[in-house]
């Protein structure tokens, strides 16, 4: 069986998030087919749901959290800790993530990485004098842009951006600068200057955007890292994806259009229609060839 999940809508001070697959404690996604949440499904199915090597690594924690983000105002300048640093402070996981840009406003932009080398002392001074934004690499956002944000890379989504975010199951964010905003009670939002300074990777890259060439009816890799592999699929004719031998669940996130996944070939194939904004979870135990048909764009995610 292939699973759909009910989305979780979260209003935010800067806009809105929709968690389309989450096992974060207290915000577990509920499965349409089973009526149970993903944590209970994992406890019951174990490696049959996620794969043996994934279950051996993560146990009863589903390892990924997937969101749609609609930024109507600038998000804070922030950074996430690595697993090692998170565990130093009693948290189970750090947070490595990626963004895949959806259609956004013409002037939408984001920040990803540093544009020049800073020392920790220089970083703290720029936070204090509110000039830290000038040290960030800024990008105009176009539909289909991809940015990989490993733990330690300073970043921020700005007003007008819409993205699909794929990340480790963690909600740990160290806020660096928040444009002097206040919360609903009129208090400045907390900053985490010291923890952020400890987390930041101060290396500078020439370009933080992921460059790729789209191709139709075959996977194009966007990100390969220890926490997830993400490909983009642009389908306009029936195409077979063979997951035989993959020791992992597979997630398909429909970004544009609509299609049908046919689970198996033979006398009685099972069809699973899907539409823009929907997610399908293919359990590891059912990994086999599937046929994708329709006209759609999707992100394909699994763990190697």
Q: What structural domains and CATH numbers belong to the chain?
A: 63-210 (2.60.120.10), 220-302 (2.60.120.10)
163: β partners: 69, 101
pLDDT tens for each residue of 164-179:
999 999 999 999 999 9
Answer yes or no: are the C-beta atoms of 10 and 16 closer than 8 Å.
Answer: yes
Of the candidates 108, 105, 86, the one whose C-alpha atom is nearest the C-alpha of residue 95 is 86
Q: What is the pLDDT of residue 89?
A: 93
Q: What is the pLDDT of residue 51?
A: 98
Of the candidates 97, 209, 103, 205, the one whose C-alpha atom is nearest the C-alpha of residue 146 is 209
pLDDT tens for each residue of 70-108:
999 999 999 999 999 999 999 999 999 999 999 999 999
Answer yes or no: are the C-beta atoms of 279 and 166 closer than 8 Å.
Answer: no
Q: What is the pLDDT of residue 267?
A: 61
DSSP 3-state assignment of 84? helix
Q: What is the pLDDT of residue 65?
A: 98
Give the DSSP H/E element, type plus range, for residue 223.
strand 220-224
Q: What is the pLDDT of residue 266?
A: 58
Q: What is the pLDDT of residue 41?
A: 98
pTM exceeds 0.85, yes or no: yes
Residues of the chain with pLDDT under 50: none
- CA 177 from centroid of its chain's CA atoms: 22
| Distance from C-alpha of 208 to C-alpha of 240, rounded to nearest angstrom | 32
Q: What is the pLDDT of residue 265?
A: 64
Of the candidates 75, 205, 72, the one whose C-alpha atom is nearest the C-alpha of residue 137 is 205
């Amino acid at each position: 069986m292939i699973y759909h999940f009910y989305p979780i809508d979260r209003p935010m001070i800067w806009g809105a998030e929709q968690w389309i697959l989450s096992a974060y404690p207290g915000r577990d996604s509920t499965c349409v087919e089973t009526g149970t949440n993903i944590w209970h499904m994992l406890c019951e199915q174990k490696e049959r749901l996620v794969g043996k090597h994934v279950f051996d690594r993560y146990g009863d924690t589903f390892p990924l959290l997937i969101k749609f983000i609609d930024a109507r105002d600038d998000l804070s300048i922030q950074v996430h800790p690595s697993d090692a640093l998170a565990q130093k402070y009693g948290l189970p996981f750090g947070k490595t993530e990626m963004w895949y840009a959806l259609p956004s406003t013409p002037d939408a932009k984001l920040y990803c990485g540093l544009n020049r080398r800073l020392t920790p002392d220089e970083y703290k001074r720029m936070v204090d004098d509110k000039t830290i934004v000038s040290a960030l690499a800024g990008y105009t956002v176009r539909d289909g842009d991809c940015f990989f944000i490993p733990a330690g890379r300073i970043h921020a989504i700005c007003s007008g951006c819409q993205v699909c975010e794929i990340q480790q199951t963690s909600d740990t964010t160290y806020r660096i600068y928040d444009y002097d905003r206040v919360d609903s009670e009129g208090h400045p939002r907390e900053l985490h200057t010291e923890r952020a300074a400890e987390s930041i990777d101060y290396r500078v890259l020439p370009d933080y955007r992921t460059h790729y060439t789209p191709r139709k009816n075959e996977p194009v890799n966007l990100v390969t890292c220890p926490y997830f592999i993400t490909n983009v699929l642009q389908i306009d004719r029936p195409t077979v994806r063979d997951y035989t031998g993959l020791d992992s669940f597979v997630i398909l996130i429909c970004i544009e259009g609509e299609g049908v996944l046919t689970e198996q070939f033979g006398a009685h194939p099972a069809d699973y229609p899907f539409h823009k904004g929907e997610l399908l979870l293919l359990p590891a135990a059912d990994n086999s060839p599937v046929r994708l048909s329709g006209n759609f764009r999707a992100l394909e995610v699994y763990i190697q």
